[in-house]
Structure 1
């Protein structure tokens, strides 16, 4: 009986040892899996951080010329981003949908620059009338002229420049009809602010009229060379108006 008891005790101890070994093996495998998962997460995080750092370095390289990143480089990066944002906003703030539906002929970007230069020279040489009221009065007082054509040497008494971003449209809707009654060419431009600036005024302007020449005391006091230069500008503006008038926009 005494010899049997140690055998049973030994068997129980062996079973316990096997269970302990099995439990330790399971815990070791679980720990290994956990370590592997953590390592994989760390690897992904490091990869993402390197990618972000690379993008930042690329942004700095755009303006970094001395190879050293400093505060000026950061300011240049911020300035470049702000400039791009302003360009996007400027494009959004100038939609063609805001123009009056009867804006025809409408000067495009290239012709619009020519028109604005002509308005600036007209303002410099005092050949300009600003505002709806004054322009309508000048059109009605202008002598009736024969209709001019492209390439013709006959110049009209005046040329009217109208801003197409006016609201309500009734403010300028009668001007094109009035111009046609007096055979005066007219051109629409997209921005009234630019028209006012070109006409040497700080306020946005709905319409201006550029006249061919001066009369009376003003004509005697004008610079002849400057007047000759303006006449060339006026002829060029007339050709632009005639060219745009041949295109019908739908």
Structure 2
């Protein structure tokens, strides 16, 4: 009887040990499989992220290329009318603004651009006063002034249009000083620039590279300024 009991106890202990082992194996498998699945998920997510990054980079590259190909057709910055000075006449619309900023860019490359109130006012005062001969539309002016209409305080540029009229220098307003500064190859916003017909600041008789091309651009801008000046709102 005692032997039977001991054998039964031993068998029961073995069964318990086997059950424990099986449970431990099952727990180990359950514990290991989620880790593997997590790793797989992480890898798949990383791959998806890489693909999404590639897609985003691809889109950004396309956008950059499109922007480089369409620099002249770049959308202008929208400025609310409330931010513009009340005497901003003539004010270039979107289409005219693109032409004006394009001419400013060419003037910066040709070194035919003066920036800032001080430098522009100095150049205006040095130019000859208005006479019937100089007021002819066929006569090219010594300069063309481009003003930013979102300047504050407005007193910074309020005297410039009067000086321009005294010296028969056409002037045009553009809505954004930031756009005007960027077109003039400066990092800072610019309140006023002056375009001159001579390349590199040279004399009228001197001919330099690109002078004929720039002169054609200057003539086109002069025609645009005269056209805008005919529709000035008082």
| Aligned 8 A contact 2:148 2:173 in 1 | yes
* Residue in 2 that maps onto 1:160: 145
* Structure 1: gaps of 5 or more residues: 1-69, 80-89
CA gap 1:93/1:124 in 2 versus in 1, 3 angstroms: closer
* Residue in 2 that maps onto 1:198: 183
1:91 CA drift (Å): 10
| Structure 1 residue corresponding to 2:157, chosen from 162, 169, 172 | 172
CA gap 1:235/1:220 in 2 versus in 1, 3 angstroms: closer
1:92 CA drift (Å): 10
Corresponding position: 1:121 with 2:106: yes
CA gap 1:240/1:221 in 2 versus in 1, 3 angstroms: closer
* Residue in 2 that maps onto 1:207: 192
1:211 CA drift (Å): 1.0
Alpha-carbon distance between aligned partners in 2 of 1:101 and 1:234, rounded to the nearest angstrom: 28
| Aligned 8 A contact 2:146 2:172 in 1 | yes
Alpha-carbon distance between aligned partners in 2 of 1:221 and 1:105, rounded to the nearest angstrom: 33
Corresponding position: 1:105 with 2:90: yes
CA gap 1:168/1:183 in 2 versus in 1, 3 angstroms: same
Alpha-carbon distance between aligned partners in 2 of 1:201 and 1:167, rounded to the nearest angstrom: 19
Give per-residue Cα distances to partners, 1:146-186, cap 9 Å, x unaligned. Answer: 4545xx32111110000000000000000000101111100
* Residue in 1 that maps onto 2:26: none
Following superposition of structure 1 onto structure 2, how do residues 46-195 of structure 1 map, counting pairs within 5 Å? Answer: 72=52, 94-146=79-131, 147-148=134-135, 152-195=137-180
SS at structure 2 position matched to 1:162: strand
1:97 CA drift (Å): 1.0
| Aligned 8 A contact 2:143 2:196 in 1 | yes
* Residue in 1 that maps onto 2:215: 231
| Aligned 8 A contact 1:145 1:157 in 2 | no
Matched positions, count: 165
Runs of 4+ off more than 4 Å: 90-93, 218-221
Following superposition of structure 1 onto structure 2, how do residues 3-22 of structure 1 map, counting pairs within 5 Å? Answer: none
CA gap 1:191/1:92 in 2 versus in 1, 3 angstroms: closer
Alpha-carbon distance between aligned partners in 2 of 1:142 and 1:201, rounded to the nearest angstrom: 25
Indicate the structure (1 or 2) with the bigger Cα radius of gyration.
1
Alpha-carbon distance between aligned partners in 2 of 1:107 and 1:93, rounded to the nearest angstrom: 13
| Aligned 8 A contact 1:162 1:186 in 2 | yes
* Residue in 1 that maps onto 2:227: 243
* Residue in 2 that maps onto 1:27: none
